[in-house]
A and B are shown apart, each in its own frame.
Chain A
Amino acid sequence: MSDSPTDSVRTSTGAPVLAASELCHSYGDRKVLHKLSLTVDSGERVAIVGENGAGKTTLMQICARLLTPQSGALRIDGRVGYCPQIPGLHELLTPDEHLALFSPAMGLTRGEGVAKGRELLAEFGFPVKDHGAQIRHLSGGCQQKLNLTLALLGGARLLLLDEPYQGFDHGSYMNFWDHVQRWSNQGIAVIVVTHMLADLELVDRVVSLTAVQQEEPV
């Protein structure tokens, strides 16, 4: 682990999964990202930290290709799994229905997608009795587990997790980091936005989004 974006720990010698170069983005007059460069190798675990409004979520959206940067270059090798800060789930649908809805997009049949999703949910400690409950009746932690599962369902080389454990209890939180380690061992690059200092010990590298550091090579 490092507290500087320039001192990275590389776990792979292959081509990077993500290569962002001099990304700039503003909302109106408010500059959020300024010449941010970031390279992430396969299997690498990176934490993105920074104060509110520093551009963490904007960076994740750009990396997920949901937002076009105003300038800069971005190259991603392989499928991206994106777990947004706000899940945006349909509150009247059930977890199983969400899994079914995502399945064909992931190249899975409905049955395969639901079965695989249930396995993932079980690993995160999601109660079996809630598979058929409407989202509005689930706790925030359970909604977040489904949010995370949908990001994982189809396979990804790069996971972008924007504060993925909001609402998790302590056991689920520890379990989440065990999974991050496993994904890393499988060669999956994981970028996690976090505000929790304890998390910084669990990653290979910390990227702090501040105006000064964004201008430094990462």
Chain B
Amino acid sequence: MSDAAAAAAVRRPPARRHWAEHVLLPAEMAGRELGRRRTALGLLTLLPLVFYAASRSDSDYAPVLGGIAMAFSISGAAIFCVMSSRRLDTRLVLAGYRPRELMIGRLLLLESLGALVALVFAGVIVLGSDPGDPGELLAGVFLVTLCAVPFGLAVGALVPSELESVLILIGVVGVQLTLSVSNPVAKFLPFWGAQRLLNQSAAGTGATTWPIIVAFLYAAGLFVIACWAVNRRYANVR
């Protein structure tokens, strides 16, 4: 091969765009990278369990604390995914990716990973705390995952550096943890729907529809914000 570089450089790419490739390939590569961070993955799974174990003497509150603490892990992973990729994302967008394709790929990957963590965590709580309504508990931890991923993506896309991102994560999740579910401020935070379901799961009573709707609305809104932020960041790149 004497001149592949020159030949590659003059060849114009064909005009084709396969949605699945543009979304699933970034998701696959983000997954491969995250999968090679075994220590981080271990901590990601252990962190909510540590919160749960530390508060297990309060059998009603421990699932809420551990469940909401999952947001530290999952949102943290989402923030890391966005912020560690900024340099390469710039080149990927310059090459032809749309920013939202990169974000959708990460959303799919992290929601899948988060669902696995939620499943493990729910199993531990069912065995350890014997909640009144295990279904509600399962829904609660899945709602934490549902909101935690777009929350992390939005923070990672909006905030300029890691320190600020982590402080925002600690602030929002920390305040949600300290407030009672009936507190008016808690209702305006992203994990209120999940918190309410986790809270109710001990007794197995209470409405479930509205908390689920709120969580879905929050997740959708946060993901729209994340996409808007990356579109704005790369608006100049065509």
Which A residues form the contact surface with B (CB < 8 A)? 64-68, 79-82, 84, 86-90, 92-93, 97, 100-110, 116, 119-120, 122-124, 134, 150, 152-156, 159, 179, 182-183, 185-188
The answer to whether the Cβ of B164 comes within 8 Å of any Cβ in the partner chain is: no
Let me know if B21 and A82 touch, CB within 8 A: no
With a cutoff of 8 Å between Cβ atoms, the chain A residues found around residue B7 in the complex are 186
Interchain nearest-CB distance for A72 vs B (Å): 14
Interface size on B, residues (CB 8 A): 40
Q: Mark B172-184, 1 if CB is under 8 A from A, else 0.
A: 0000000000000
Majority DSSP secondary structure for residues of B touching A = helix
Contact of A183 among B9, B12, B32, B96 (CB under 8 A): B9
Let me know if B6 and A183 touch, CB within 8 A: yes
With a cutoff of 8 Å between Cβ atoms, the chain B residues found around residue A183 in the complex are 5-6, 9
Which listed segment binds A: B70-78, B82-90, B109-117, B127-135? Answer: B82-90
Contact of A101 among B25, B94, B237 (CB under 8 A): B25
Q: With contacts A104-B21, A187-B10 known, what are 16 further pairs, Cβ within 8 A?
A: A66-B237, A87-B87, A90-B33, A90-B88, A92-B32, A92-B37, A102-B92, A102-B95, A107-B16, A116-B4, A134-B36, A156-B9, A179-B6, A183-B6, A186-B10, A188-B9
With a cutoff of 8 Å between Cβ atoms, the chain B residues found around residue A188 in the complex are 6, 9-10
User: Which residue from chain A places its CB closest to the CB of B35 in the assembled complex?
Assistant: A92
Interchain nearest-CB distance for A59 vs B (Å): 15
In the assembled complex, 30 residue pairs joining A and B whose CB atoms fall closer than 8 Å, in A order, are: A65-B94, A67-B236, A86-B87, A88-B87, A88-B88, A90-B29, A90-B33, A90-B84, A90-B85, A92-B37, A93-B33, A101-B92, A102-B91, A102-B95, A104-B18, A104-B25, A105-B95, A105-B97, A106-B13, A107-B16, A108-B13, A120-B5, A120-B8, A122-B1, A124-B5, A153-B8, A155-B8, A183-B9, A185-B6, A187-B10
* Bound Cα distance A159, B8 (Å): 12
* Bound Cα distance A117, B14 (Å): 17
Let me know if B95 and A97 touch, CB within 8 A: no
The answer to whether the Cβ of B207 comes within 8 Å of any Cβ in the partner chain is: no
The answer to whether the Cβ of B48 comes within 8 Å of any Cβ in the partner chain is: no
Let me know if A81 and B237 touch, CB within 8 A: no
Residues of B38-96 whose CB lies within 8 A of A? 84-88, 90-92, 94-96
User: Which residue from chain A places its CB closest to the CB of B15 in the assembled complex?
Assistant: A107
Interchain nearest-CB distance for B146 vs A (Å): 27
Let me know if B25 and A93 touch, CB within 8 A: no
Q: Which one of B10, B13, B84, B92 has the greatest number of beta carbons of chain A within 10 Å?
A: B13
Contact of B12 among A79, A89, A179, A186 (CB under 8 A): A79
* Bound Cα distance A103, B22 (Å): 9
Q: Which one of B6, B236, B237 has the greatest number of beta carbons of chain A within 10 Å?
A: B6
With a cutoff of 8 Å between Cβ atoms, the chain A residues found around residue B18 in the complex are 104
Interchain nearest-CB distance for B209 vs A (Å): 40
* Bound Cα distance A82, B25 (Å): 21
Interchain nearest-CB distance for A27 vs B (Å): 14
